[in-house]
Amino acid sequence: MIEIKKITALETYPIRLEVLRKNIPMPYEFSGDLAIDTFHLGAFKNNELIAISSFMKVNNKNFKGEQYQLRGMATIAKYQGYGAGKMMMQKAFSILTILKMDCLWCNARIIAVNFYKNQGLKTFGKLFSIEHIGDHYVMFKDLNNE
């Protein structure tokens, strides 16, 4: 059974480093990690942290209202496909609704676009590239149309 809990920024770093930044010369500590309104979620299987995600109060000029940005969602390779990401997204939607947020957005890697579409996010704008990481789309979900 997988359990979703709030975790600290520090707890996200090993998985970010392993999954998102392995052999990539970019930081795994993000600006905003320690902000008072940032929250981090972890998925635990048998008390082992297997997936992480971070949610930061960051506005994107393309969207209206109160917004959060999803950053650094990652699942350890051997646990991908178990539903941990979906469960973290559901928990985040619940938290963001309680916080009365209007929009959740992210910069989604190409390999994650279908996952995010399945969670109700839509692409916005054109494909763009982030050096060392690759192609991305901005994706968003209007939280008022639940």
Tens of each residue's pLDDT in the chain, 146 residues? 999 999 999 999 999 988 887 877 777 888 999 999 999 999 999 999 999 999 999 999 999 999 999 999 999 999 999 999 999 999 999 999 999 999 999 999 999 999 999 999 999 999 988 887 889 999 999 998 65
- The whole domain housing 86 covers 2-104
Task: List, in sequence order, every residue forming a beta bridge with 136; answer none if it has no partner.
Answer: 109, 128
Instruction: Determine which helix (DSSP H) or strand (DSSP E) holds 140, and give its type and residue range.
Output: strand 134-142
In a domain, 29, yes or no: yes
pTM of the entire structure?
A: 0.94
Q: Are 65 and 99 in contact (CB under 8 A)?
A: no
Is 103 within 8 Å of 140 (Cβ atoms)? Answer: yes
Residue 110 lies in a domain: no
Phi and psi, residue 53, nearest 5°: -155, 150
CATH of the domain at 80: 3.40.630.30
Tell me whether residue 122 is in a domain.
no
Dihedral sign (CA 39, 52, 47, 5): positive
Q: How many domains does the chain have?
A: 1
